[in-house]
């Protein structure tokens, strides 16, 4: 029998009050569940505005433990509605040790596991190395009630190695909680190319690995009025051939619900047998920084 699942991506603007952001995101998740969604994913670091625009020690107060307030809230929702929730959080693991982490909560409310962001950027207004320790849990997938899913986070989405290694653990859907946007001063010249690159690289992961890819992104302007970041939204889901099935707007809050049919994974992989034809005997140099 065909096996299908409805995926929901929560795309929102983010306010200054973390508790309000949690309440409103929780409300959106409940709304998605009532609309039939079975796996629901938040955008990256949904509880706060994107604080990595500056290096400020006071921002560490935004972090929380896992388990903690957010996972307790979402576990109750997951159990009440029988849904899987992927929550992107600023994790305080120990004093001086913080991660950009996704918590995966199964449909019975149990905390199924964590993924800690592996690739940490350090670019203008994206000063994540100041805050986040690189992930140490590796690339893996999680067997939820409805599907085997992989979770990577934002900057991870540019790396085919992460997508491939996650796919090789059996993931049927790759989720990429995201917070990405334009520097307003660059938008006119580079904006189209930047967004197209972001979308294309993720669609390529779907094609190369024969699975679904789902990327929720935030909307709105955050930071200095004469600078900051204009988040471009446009959350999307694409199928195993890389075709975009559903896409949100650039400037409106949305709950993007998309049905994924897992029979298409086998069809795609047998017609385009990239996994079959991999030359695993010839890839040893991939572990080198550069081959001189």
Q: Which helix (H) or strand (E) holds 149?
A: strand 148-151
Can you read off the two tokens belonging to residue 219? Answer: 């909307």
Residues 6 or more apart from 88 whose CB is under 8 A from it? Answer: 42, 43, 44, 45, 46, 100, 101, 102, 153, 177
* CA gap 242, 213 in Å, rounded: 8
Can you read off the two tokens belonging to residue 221? Answer: 């302007």
Query: Which residues are identified as catalytic?
Result: 44, 117, 154
Q: Among 247, 230, 250, which residue's Cα sits nearest to residue 183? A: 230
The values of phi and psi at residue 73, to 5°, are -60, -45
Inter-CA distances, 6 with 2, 38, 42, 127, Å: 13, 5, 15, 35
* CA gap 224, 273 in Å, rounded: 48
Question: 3-class SS at 84?
Answer: strand
Beta-ladder partners of 104: 86, 113
Question: 3-class SS at 154?
Answer: helix
* CA gap 266, 187 in Å, rounded: 40
CB 285 within 8 A of CB 279: no
Buried b (16+ CB within 10 A) or exposed e, 277-286: eeeeeeeeee
CB 136 within 8 A of CB 142: no
């Amino acid at each position: 029998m065909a096996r299908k699942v409805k995926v929901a991506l929560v795309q929102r603007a983010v306010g200054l009050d973390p508790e309000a952001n949690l309440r409103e995101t929780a409300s959106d998740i409940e709304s998605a569940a009532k609309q039939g969604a079975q796996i629901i994913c938040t955008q990256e670091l949904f509880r706060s505005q994107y604080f990595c625009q500056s290096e400020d020690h006071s921002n560490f107060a935004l972090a929380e433990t896992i388990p903690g307030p957010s996972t307790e809230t979402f576990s109750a929702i997951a159990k009440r509605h029988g849904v899987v929730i992927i929550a992107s959080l600023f994790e305080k693991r120990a004093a001086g040790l913080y991660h950009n982490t996704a918590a995966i909560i199964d449909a019975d409310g149990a905390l199924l596991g964590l993924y800690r962001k592996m690739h940490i950027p350090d670019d203008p207004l994206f000063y994540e190395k100041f805050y986040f320790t690189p992930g140490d849990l590796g690339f893996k997938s999680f067997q939820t009630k409805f599907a085997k899913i992989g979770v990577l986070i934002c900057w991870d989405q540019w790396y085919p190695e992460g997508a491939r290694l996650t796919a090789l653990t059996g993931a049927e859907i790759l989720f990429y909680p995201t917070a990405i946007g334009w520097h307003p001063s660059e938008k006119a010249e580079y904006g189209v190319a930047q967004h197209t690159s972001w979308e294309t690289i993720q669609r390529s992961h779907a094609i190369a690995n024969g699975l679904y890819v789902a990327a929720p992104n935030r909307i709105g302007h955050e930071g200095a009025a004469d600078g900051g970041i204009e988040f471009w939204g446009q959350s999307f889901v694409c199928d195993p051939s890389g075709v975009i099935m559903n896409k949100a707007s650039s400037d409106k809050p949305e709950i993007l619900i998309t049905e994924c049919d897992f029979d298409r994974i086998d069809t795609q992989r047998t017609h385009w047998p990239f996994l079959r034809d991999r030359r695993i005997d010839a890839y040893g140099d991939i572990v080198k920084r550069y081959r001189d």
